[in-house]
């Protein structure tokens, strides 16, 4: 008799139905790879009456997640509810019962990942989460296994498809943020409440997971300075283009180690941040548009490596979930659960690494000032910047106002400067006469 891995699902929405679709359609090739069958035993869904993909086996549906968790024939619980609670309780309970867990829940992992992974490790079960970051792009496996021999110097990701879709529409069609957001919602790329996506929180959750795996460090998402794209205006996209840049929401992790042999590179501070950034239009990440995700990894030995693909959607995300199920199934059959540490590094080797304050960030900046077109105003702005050691590399002023009464945009790109100096200068500039709106500051990322 063929060996079987029993699967219990909690949550049967868009991704869950994709999982069932793959388990059904690819059953034969999955068995040819795994040497056994992945068999769904029970599915908990809040609204089991709702119209569903015909692949959903109605006889396995229940309203009660407890029936999934208590089913002794379930070897792996797939948690696809999302959010902190009740999803966290389900995962905790499954692990405590000795069930393996596969989840796509980045928020839960970012907030409670260390606790849950340690619980899994203590029970000798697996907790897999490839689908939590960048949908179908196998970045978790790559960091955990393919790069197990290397040191990650840095990674830069486009990991929020909603924001990328919105910025692409703004870039391609000159839309403003609100119109592009509405278009994303109409196209199904943004939720009714898009705050987590466009505010950067979702990308920060994913970065928490990626940085933990890349650096074997205990990182909390609260440590990640996070800015979203809600304040990006069409005029910023336009100015960026004029200078040869595009604007992307980036998740950045870098090890701030020095080449100094005496320094302890494994405990060097980390540079972690999520924010919109100007990147060169010739950068590999510049061409990652629409709902695509991409992660650009810089390995010390590997050099640059790019992975890109669809970051969301029913089937691409389901590919990651079901490949995790195959992996867990292999561990069950081989008796090798816990074979690869969930955080890439074994728990006892995890380190604490300080996260550098954003004020210490050194980089170039895009600054857009709104000023009344009066003699001397630019000189005073330049003077304030210079007083804080911020020097100007390029400047452009938009069409002069005819009356002198309507504000005009002046954009400056700075040379590399320290962020706290830039902020201090902007504080002074805000007090200047004829500077009429808050200055827009966007970091420039060399990638």
Could you tell me the smallest distance in angstroms from the CB atom of residue 157 to a copy of itself? 14
CB of 26 to a copy of itself, least distance (A): 6
For residue 212, the minimal CB distance to a copy of itself (Å) is 13
Binding-site member from 44, 198, 224, 310 for a copy of itself (CB under 8 A): 310
C-alpha span between 447 and 433 (Å, rounded)? 37
Site stretch for a copy of itself (CB under 8 A), options 109-117, 188-196, 320-328, 415-423: 320-328
Query: Cα(first)–Cα(last) distance of the chain, in Å?
Result: 54
The single residue among 113, 136, 200, 228 that binds a copy of itself, judged by CB under 8 A, is 136
324 contact partners, CB below 8 Å, separation of at least 6: 102, 128, 129, 130, 131
Closest distance between a copy of itself and the C-beta of residue 372, in Å? 43
How far, in whole angstroms, is CA 197 from its chain's centroid? 9
239 backbone dihedrals φ, ψ, rounded to 5°: -65, -40
- Where in the sequence numbering do the catalytic residues fall? 206
Write the interaction track for a copy of itself spanning residues 141-180; mark x where CB under 8 A is met and - where it is not: xx--xxxxxxx-----------------------------
Q: Is 99 helix (H, G, I), strand (E, B) or coil?
A: coil
Binding range to a copy of itself, per CB under 8 A, among 113-121, 187-195, 299-307, 436-444: 299-307
Q: How far is the CB of 398 from a copy of itself (least distance, A)?
A: 31
Least separation in angstroms between CB 219 and a copy of itself: 16
Complete edge-to-edge strand list for the sheet that includes strand 4-10 = 61-62, 37-44, 4-10, 76-79, 100-103, 127-128
338 φ/ψ angles, rounded to the nearest 5 degrees:
80, 10
Burial of 233 (0-12, 13-18, 19+ CB in 10 A): middle
- 346 is an interface residue for a copy of itself by CB under 8 A: yes
Cβ atoms of residues 140 and 147 within 8 Å? no
Half-sphere exposure of 425 (CA within 13 A, CB side): 26
Q: Which CB, 293 or 414, lies closer to a copy of itself?
A: 293
- Asked whether position 276 contacts a copy of itself by CB under 8 A, the answer is no
- In the list 318, 371, 426, 429, the residue contacting a copy of itself (rule: CB under 8 A) is 318
DSSP secondary structure string, 102-167? EE--HHHHHHHHHHHHHHHHHHT--EE-GGGTTTTS-HHHIIIIITTTS-EEEEEEE--HHHHHHH
Nearest CA to 285 among 307, 253, 256? 307
Which residues on adjacent β-strands are paired with residue 202? none
Query: Which stretch in 7-15, 219-227, 328-336, 396-404 sits in contact with a copy of itself by CB under 8 A?
Result: 328-336
Query: Judged by CB under 8 A, which stretch of 21-29, 153-161, 191-199, 393-401 contacts a copy of itself?
Result: 21-29
Residue 268 as a binder of a copy of itself (CB under 8 A): the answer is no
Site membership for a copy of itself, residue 342 (CB under 8 A): no
- Between residue 62 and residue 121, which ones bind a copy of itself under the rule CB under 8 A? none
Residue 97 tokens read as: 């019962």
Return the residue of 315, 355, 367, 412 that touches a copy of itself, per CB under 8 A.
315
Task: Catalog residues that contact a copy of itself under the rule CB under 8 A.
Answer: 18, 21-22, 26, 28-35, 130, 136-138, 141-142, 145-151, 216, 266, 284, 287, 299, 301-310, 313, 315-316, 318-323, 325-327, 330-331, 334-336, 339-341, 344-346, 349
């Amino acid at each position: 008799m063929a060996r079987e891995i029993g699967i219990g699902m909690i949550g049967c929405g868009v991704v869950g139905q994709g999982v069932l679709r793959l388990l059904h359609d690819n059953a034969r090739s999955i068995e040819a790879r795994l040497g056994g069958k992945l068999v769904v035993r029970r599915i908990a869904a809040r609204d089991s009456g709702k119209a569903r993909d015909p692949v959903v086996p109605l006889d396995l549906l229940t309203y009660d997640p407890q029936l999934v968790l208590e089913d002794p024939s379930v070897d792996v619980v797939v948690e696809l509810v999302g959010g902190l609670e009740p999803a966290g309780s389900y995962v905790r309970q499954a692990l405590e019962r000795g069930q393996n867990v596969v989840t796509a829940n980045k928020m839960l992992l970012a907030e409670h990942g260390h606790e849950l992974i340690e619980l899994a490790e203590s029970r000798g079960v697996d907790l897999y989460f490839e689908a939590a970051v960048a949908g179908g792009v196998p970045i978790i496996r790559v960091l955990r296994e393919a790069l197990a021999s290397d040191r990650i110097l840095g990674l830069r990701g486009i990991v929020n498809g909603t924001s990328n879709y919105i910025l692409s529409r703004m870039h391609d069609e000159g839309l403003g943020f609100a119109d592009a957001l509405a278009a994303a919602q109409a196209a199904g790329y943004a939720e009714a409440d898009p705050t987590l996506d466009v505010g950067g929180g979702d990308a920060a959750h994913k970065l928490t997971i990626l940085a933990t795996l890349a650096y074997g460090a205990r990182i909390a998402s609260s440590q990640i300075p996070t800015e979203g794209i809600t304040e990006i205006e069409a005029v910023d996209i336009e100015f960026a283009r004029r200078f040869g840049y595009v604007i992307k929401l980036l998740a950045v992790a870098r090890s701030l180690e020095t080449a100094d042999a005496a320094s302890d590179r494994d405990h060097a501070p980390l540079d972690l941040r999520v924010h919109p950034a100007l990147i060169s239009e010739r950068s590999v990440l510049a061409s990652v548009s629409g709902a695509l995700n991409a992660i650009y990894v810089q390995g010390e030995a590997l050099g640059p490596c790019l992975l890109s693909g669809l970051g969301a959607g029913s089937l691409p995300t389901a590919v990651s979930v079901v490949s995790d199920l195959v992996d867990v199934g292999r561990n069950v059959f081989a008796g090798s659960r816990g074979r690869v540490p969930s955080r890439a590094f074994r728990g006892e080797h995890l380190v604490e690494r300080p996260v550098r304050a954003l004020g210490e960030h050194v980089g170039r900046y895009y600054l857009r000032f709104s000023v009344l077109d009066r003699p001397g105003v630019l000189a005073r702005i330049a003077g304030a910047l210079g007083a804080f050691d911020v020097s100007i590399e390029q400047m452009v002023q938009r069409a002069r106002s005819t009356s002198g009464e309507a504000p005009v945009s002046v954009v400056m790109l700075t040379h590399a400067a320290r962020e706290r100096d830039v902020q201090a200068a902007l504080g002074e500039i805000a007090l200047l006469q004829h500077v009429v709106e808050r200055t827009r500051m966007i970091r420039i990322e060399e990638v």
